[in-house]
Amino acid sequence: MASVMKSLTRPMTAEEREKAYSTPKKPDVMERQRLPVRYHVEDFNVEDRPRRFLEVFASVLQHHPNYRLALDHYMRVTTRCARCAVACPIYDATHDPHDIPCYRSELLLSIYRRHFTVSGALRARLLGDPGLADEKLQEMADSYYNCTACRRCHFECPMGIDHALVTHLGRYLLSEIGIVPRALVVSTREQLIGKTANTSAIPLPALIDTLEFLTEDIQDEKGVHVPFPIDQEGAEYIFFTSVSDFMMEAETLKGIAAVMKATGDSWTIGSKYYDGINYGLFYSDQVMEHVLHMMRAEAERLKVKKILIGECGHSARTAKFFYPTYCGGKNALPVISILEYTQRALKEGRIKLDPKVVTEAVTYHDPCNIARPGWIVNQPREVLKAFCSQYVEMAPNGRMNLCCGGGGGTVSIDEIRPFRTAVSGRLKAEQIRRTGATYCVAPCANCKKQLRELMEDQGVECEILGLHDLIYKAILLPPDSAEETAAAEAADGSTASPAEGSPS
């Protein structure tokens, strides 16, 4: 780890810095919104922001005892030792004190201390402190979206402060007064109240077309009928993935369908709701809860037994760790990731992978959202080692991996791509370059998009793909039985039709 971290501790050149902080945003918009941030924000009320921010803060503290607990505690124990600075890939690239995780958290902690504690109020009275100023909100708006919320610093804080939680709260509070990246809020709006009910606005007919096309593709390539079942009531698993996968990650989906075909477990995609994305994790607890409720409604409608999440880090994390929170506690449907599922199937001998197909060097990138909690670290490695003849590790890896640079929803904000590829993904690019691998497996839609842009902008020769892309290359599917061939012919090679029409 030290070697990678040390190699890039040179500060960025002035030219690199200028490029990284460039933005297509017009200065007059920043002026109008009084918000010098590089991401687009929908127009909102700018008057009297500090007061409204404090109202939101008070309301959140009133209804979320968990945040009061965290802020009270962090405020008391923070020692400002700067160990987190060394763990942060962004600080490593910029050497800007504003990018030290502890500094970022202090922005919010100081507001809490000043306005929501007795000692802070007394101190303010003694020193004549006028309280929260708009400039601080502007700084927070910039700072909280420079952080990728990867939680790496949490492991290095001797006081156990989770800066990503503070970032999450900071973004939540800001969003309630209208400061939230347009890219995130527009997608969320479509998902929650739009006609298509998904973040990429993919209509159901387009989805069905895509899936039929994929089935035909597999038939051509593998000679086997592999369906993508839709609305199969009573199936074992309901499948949710980042909806953008249906447009961008055909190989991943084919791999997943092939694995499901090989194991023979019943699974289905819901026609009313098929998006795993949950931007609530990045900026709003209210959004997170509503999105999970949609997932629950679809799972209940189809009477499935388990929720299966595709190759998507934050979808998996929100479902695994927050679905029980919002959808029934210990009685909630179990959530498993396709990575766990495939590893288990391989272990039980239910899928066969040809070890002679993938001979190039393969490395594995741990998506923060699934690796950091220690949930999915070894499973994909076991699978890869089972059929890739040249597997190489990055360093550091596993729970201490480096973020791709597009975490915390920042990958969806296209206008900050220069920052993501020059600053937040800087170390990652070097890390991947050093492995010399031909393929980098990144089982997360966010990571894949970010890493592809990163490889392009940093000039690294490495193909980014999902775990199931490689599995699809190597999987050995048994030929169709007579019944299956008949079924395939009956369906004319197409996907099972939804039980009902389009949700719109």
Partner 1 sequence: MTAWIDFARGPLFRLSLALMVLGLLRIFIITLLEVRDGYRANSDKIVSWKEIRRQTLGWLFPMFRLWRQRPIYSTVSFLFHIGLIVTPIFLASHILLWRQSVGISWAALPQVAANWLALLVIFTGAGLFLGRALYSPARKISHRQDYFWPLLLITPFVTGYIASNAVISPRTYQEMMLVHIYSGDLILLLIPFTKLAHCVLAPLSQLVTGVAWKFPPGAGDRVAETLGFADRPTWVLNPRLTTAPVEEAIRKGGVAK
356 to 385, contacts with partner 1 by CB under 8 A?
Answer: 373-374
> Quick one: 13 or 331, whose CB is closer to partner 1?
331
Cα–Cα distance list, 128 to 75, 111, 112, 134 (Å) = 22, 15, 17, 18
Contacting range for partner 1; rule: CB under 8 A; set: 151-159, 262-270, 352-360, 480-488: 151-159
**Applying CB under 8 A, which of residues 18, 43, 300, 414 lies at the interface with partner 1?**
43
434 to 463, contacts with partner 1 by CB under 8 A?
Answer: none
Burial of 135 (0-12, 13-18, 19+ CB in 10 A): exposed
User: Rule CB under 8 A: is residue 192 a binding residue for partner 1?
Assistant: yes
> Quick one: 283 or 439, whose CB is closer to partner 1?
283
> Quick one: 161 or 218, whose CB is closer to partner 1?
161
Sketch the per residue contact string, 195 through 234, with partner 1: x for CB under 8 A, - otherwise: ----------------------------------------
Nearest-angstrom CA–CA distance, 418 and 425: 10
User: Rule CB under 8 A: is residue 6 a binding residue for partner 1?
Assistant: no
> Quick one: 142 or 217, whose CB is closer to partner 1?
142
Q: Reply yes or no: is the peptide bond before residue 503 cis, omega within 30 of 0.
A: no
User: Rule CB under 8 A: is residue 294 a binding residue for partner 1?
Assistant: no
> Quick one: 100 or 442, whose CB is closer to partner 1?
100
Count of residues interacting with partner 1 (CB under 8 A) = 76
Quick one: which of 418, 423, 469 has its CA closest to 443?
469
Nearest-angstrom CA–CA distance, 304 and 235: 5
User: Rule CB under 8 A: is residue 116 a binding residue for partner 1?
Assistant: no
Residue 69 beta carbon to partner 1: minimum distance, rounded to whole angstroms: 4
319 to 348, contacts with partner 1 by CB under 8 A?
Answer: 321-322, 324-326, 328-330, 332
Count the alpha carbons within 13 Å of 457 in the hemisphere toward its beta carbon.
22
User: Rule CB under 8 A: is residue 12 a binding residue for partner 1?
Assistant: no
Nearest-angstrom CA–CA distance, 35 and 384: 46
Q: What are the two backbone dihedrals, phi and then psi, of residue 392, each rounded to the nearest 5 degrees? A: -120, 145
Quick one: which of 255, 254, 215 has its CA closest to 380?
255
3-state helix, strand, coil in the chain (%, to 5): 55, 5, 35
**Applying CB under 8 A, which of residues 176, 245, 298, 469 lies at the interface with partner 1?**
176
User: Rule CB under 8 A: is residue 66 a binding residue for partner 1?
Assistant: yes
